[in-house]
Structures are given as C-alpha cells and as structure tokens.
Chain A
C-alpha cells in the first residue's frame, strides 16, 4: 500500500492546482482511479479482464483444436508447441483452458444477471412496500435461504439432466435470495436515515429519492454480495461439472478438465495444476474486485481517516494573510 503512495506524491502546489481544475466529468471516474490504486482492485480487474479477453479470443482462436485427440502426443510436458502440455488423449491443455473460460464467463455473467434481478426485486419488495407484503417477503427469503445452492442444482440436474442452464439458474436464484437477504435490512436502515428525509424535504419524489439516495448507499453491500455470487457461480460450474451434473462432456469446462486430470494426479501432477489455478485465480479475483469496488466507491473509506494523511485536497485551515 505504501509503495504506490510514495510514488504518486506530487508537490503541494501542483497538487492544489490540479485539484482546482478537477471537472465534474473527471470526478465521475475518480472511483475507477481509486480502484486501480488499491492492490486488490488492480489484481481483481486484471484477472477479470484476462479471463474475459481469453473467453472472447477463444471464441475465434485457440492454439490447437481443444477437441483434437492425438494419442501419440499424450501427457506431453509443458513446452513447445504445447505450452501447458497435453492430457491423456493428447489434447492441448492451454486450448482446453481457453475454451473452458468461455463457459466460466457465460456462467458467471448469466448467474450474476439473474441474481441481480431477483435480488433487487426481492429486496425492494421486502423493504419499500406495505408492511404485510414486506414481512411476507422477508419470511419467504428466510425460507429460501435454507436451501443450499449446490444441493438444489444437483437435485435439478439429477432429475432433468445436467446442463449449463441448470447451473446458471440455480446459482442465480440462490444468490438472488442471498443478495435480497443482505440488502433488504440495509435498504430499511438507509430508508430511515435523516438524509433520505432531508431529500424528501428538498422536494424529491419517492422514486427520485430511491435513485439518488437509497440505491447508491446500498450499492456497496450489493456489489460485495454480487461479486461473491459470481465467484460461487464459477466454483459451482466447476464443481457440478466435476461431479458430472454441470456441463455435458462435450462442452469444454474447467471443472470437467479438473475431474479428468485429477485421476492421474499421482502420475502427472503438473497437469492438474492448470485448471486448478485457473479456477482459484478467477474466484479470488472476483472476490477481491468486489471488496475493492466497495472500498473505492465509499468516500469515507478512501484514505483520510488518518489525520496525518488527509485525503488529497482536504480542506486545511490555512491562516489568512492579514494585510
């Protein structure tokens, strides 16, 4: 933390000049710069960007055809041309991983979208409506939370067969409920805060108040939950595919790859490492990104609690020069 800070130190006069010039437009993206300045945020952003970029590239190009079997080339060690080696049927592991990242991204984004819609809808219903409705929603959420996401996904796929859609929907719904459970009391708390009352007193309609005061104040809690949900979606896809409930064997998937390679862990331990690392880094990256996002968007958390290191451009009491 301290290293980048010292690097960014700017002479006081220049810092002040720059601060005065700061336009509204620049300030709107300030959180992104703050996110980058956090080591966790940088790590998370890079991981998410790399996985997403890989997924897009893999749509058009992989070093080898991930389905191409070449028995004569089985269990090749990392090297050229197979950078990460090959598996027991001679398939290129790097290509398999790249193709698998598409599945990962689709599952994470799909589950994230579903969780967001369900979570916000349930939280809003549970916090902003008439008493009888919001309390029944709260009870419903408490009941739904009792069912573990993975168990539900396994049950569904055991009955109707495994597919990615099952993974996406079950994790999406499961985490939507989770988001609602955490966001609802937060929404209630903010709803009763003085500044929401002050907002109404300045003439905001309830809907304007929702957008300007309620949502932004609940967002940090929501973001952390969502990023966690997306990380769990990645894990769930890998786990369910590993157990044979997720992606069909014909789909490339990190979980399937791990399941396949793991049988040979005593003979070819290195090959298992790659899908394991891919899953670990993606999950870690998503989690850290969510945490960093919360920190970067909360102005009260951004350096400045420490009186010795006031936030950049903080109002200092400069003695007036008496003429």
Chain B
C-alpha cells in the first residue's frame, strides 16, 4: 500500500505549475509536503486523486499499489477515492454541503463504496462522529454545517475522509483555517487516527512547526520543484536549501509559542517554552 510519485507535472495552459515532483510514501509513513503558497503543494495532492480543475493537465507517474493513477479513467479513480485514498481540505467552512446533515455527509462514502442502507450508513456515521470526538454524536449527525464551530466542522470533514478506512490520507492544510488551540487539537486527532489505523499520511502545509508535530519526513517544494527531501529532524537542525531555512525562521516563532498555547488553561507552568523538541 505505498504511494510512489515520480516526475509529476501539472500544466495549466502553457504554464508548468508542478514541475517534476517525486517522492515516496511507504506503507504507514507520514510525509509532509511543505512550501510557500503557490509552490504547487495542493495541485500535487489534487493530481494524485485526479481532481485537478478544468484546464489543468497532469503528467508523469503516480503509482498507488503498483497501479498507475495518472491517466486512469475517472470512473475507476472514483472507486479509489474515499475508499483507499481520503482527502481533507483546508477550509472547513466550505468543504461541507450547507444543506445536508453532517451524518449524511459522513455516511456518503460508506453508502457509495459499501452499498449499505441509509439506516446502516447513519449508524456508521454516528460511530465515525464519535471517533473524531464530535460532542454528542447521536444528535450532531442531524445538524447542518452552519450549526457547528470551525473545529467541529473540520472534525466532521476528517470523519468524512476516514469513514471507509482509507489506506492513505491526504491532508491539505487541514489546520490553517483554525485558531491555534483548535489547530493543536486537530493535529493530535489526526495523529492518533493515523496511528490507530496504521495508514499513510501526506500532510500539506506551509508551516514547518506544524509539520514537525505530525510528519516524519518532509518534501520541500518551491515553484513546483522539489528542493529538499529529508527527515523532519534534519530539516529542523540542518536545512540545506534557502527555502527550508526561511520556513524554519518563520516556524521558530510558532515553535516557541506552541507549548504555551497548547497547555493554555491546564498547567502552563509545567512546560517552559522550548521544553518540547
């Protein structure tokens, strides 16, 4: 169950926005794609699932379980999406359909991929909602997105992506739109879910501090090219590229802040700043 991206390209018109990206995600690995905005991280994620917008063309090779995903017919790709590969998007505000209940949206992929009845899907959706620690899952599945907070919506979106127990989860900046305390909660949740299921993770972010909390390896992108691939500890201690050094500088502030904000309300005094590596 490994993902192997080789020389992936994405063209929009005659502009090459992803230019020869290669990386590998072995079974159970947690890999981060990191770069400034516009570096092609999100398009890489969309290209893997064949979800590129109209007018964008993918090339190169994406091997999932030795099956080539680039050029695979959409009908065939649809059977993989949600079932073997799940994705969580950045903006929980818009990633949920405003006029369908949370429960139906979580149960959707279960209904599609496993062909279960509406009631069965509802029961499963309640279980999934409980799994992502949504409060009062029995009742929250009957709610509409606008009745949930941002963090709750992102939990629901994660439940949607994981409902069919995919083997790979792609998380496209899942914490960027949330405030810092909620960010930490969502990261913890993602990490525990990924570890429980033993699934692989591709985590996309522009924040090295966030990435260091969840991924083991990082792939640094700039202008659609890979500039550095290394274990997170190396990226943090001995970044070779200028981009990574810049990202590290940006992240340092966040890193210093992180322990204080995570423990906010509990016992702030037990963890001095920087006590967490």
User: Which residues of A are at the interface with B, using a C-beta cutoff of 8 A?
Assistant: 19-20, 22, 24, 27, 192-195, 197-206, 208, 212-213, 216-217, 297-300, 304, 311, 313-315, 317
Contact B143 A315 (CB under 8 A): yes
Which B residues are CB-close (under 8 A) to A311?
147
Contact A205 B82 (CB under 8 A): no
Is residue B86 contacting chain A, with contact meaning CB distance below 8 A?
yes
A sample of 7 cross-chain residue pairs with beta-carbon separation below 8 angstroms, ordered by A number, consists of A27-B101, A27-B142, A197-B95, A201-B161, A203-B112, A204-B108, A204-B112
Complex: A198 Cα to B81 Cα, angstroms: 10
Contact B99 A199 (CB under 8 A): no
- Which of B126-173 touch A at CB < 8 Å? 135-136, 138-140, 142-144, 146-148, 157, 160-161, 163
Which A residues are CB-close (under 8 A) to B187?
none
Complex: A22 Cα to B101 Cα, angstroms: 14
Which B residues are CB-close (under 8 A) to A199?
97, 108
Contact A198 B96 (CB under 8 A): yes
Which A residues are CB-close (under 8 A) to B140?
315
Which B residues are CB-close (under 8 A) to A198?
87, 89, 95-96, 157, 160
Contact A203 B79 (CB under 8 A): yes
Which A residues are CB-close (under 8 A) to B75?
205
Which B residues are CB-close (under 8 A) to A202?
81-82, 86, 108-109, 112, 160-161, 163
Contact B49 A201 (CB under 8 A): yes
Is residue B100 contacting chain A, with contact meaning CB distance below 8 A?
yes
Complex: A27 Cα to B144 Cα, angstroms: 12
The chain A residue sitting closest to B55, CB to CB, is A131
Complex: A298 Cα to B108 Cα, angstroms: 20
Contact B109 A203 (CB under 8 A): yes
Complex: A269 Cα to B61 Cα, angstroms: 82
- Which of B93-119 touch A at CB < 8 Å? 94-101, 108-109, 112-113, 118-119
Contacts A199-B108, A205-B75, A206-B74 known; 19 new A-B pairs at CB < 8 A: A193-B94, A194-B91, A195-B94, A195-B95, A197-B51, A197-B95, A198-B87, A198-B160, A200-B78, A202-B112, A202-B163, A203-B79, A213-B97, A298-B99, A299-B99, A300-B98, A300-B144, A313-B142, A315-B136
Q: How far is the CB of A218 from chain B (nearest CB, A)?
A: 10
Contact A201 B99 (CB under 8 A): no
Which B residues are CB-close (under 8 A) to A304?
146-147
The chain A residue sitting closest to B112, CB to CB, is A203
The interface bits of chain B over 58-79 (1 if a CB of A lies within 8 angstroms of the residue's CB, else 0) are: 0000000000000000110011
Contact of B108 among A22, A27, A212 (CB under 8 A): A212
The chain A residue sitting closest to B138, CB to CB, is A20
**With contact pairs A201-B51, A315-B148 given, residues A194 and B95 touching in the complex (Cβ less than 8 Å):** yes
Which B residues are CB-close (under 8 A) to A192?
53
Complex: A198 Cα to B140 Cα, angstroms: 20
Contact A315 B98 (CB under 8 A): no
Complex: A95 Cα to B121 Cα, angstroms: 55
Contact A203 B136 (CB under 8 A): no
Complex: A7 Cα to B10 Cα, angstroms: 60
Contact of A19 among B78, B86, B97, B139 (CB under 8 A): B139
Q: How far is the CB of B125 from chain A (nearest CB, A)?
A: 11
**With contact pairs A198-B89, A314-B147 given, residues A216 and B108 touching in the complex (Cβ less than 8 Å):** no
The chain B residue sitting closest to A220, CB to CB, is B99
Is residue B222 contacting chain A, with contact meaning CB distance below 8 A?
no
Contact of A315 among B78, B118, B122, B135 (CB under 8 A): B135
Which B residues are CB-close (under 8 A) to A206?
74
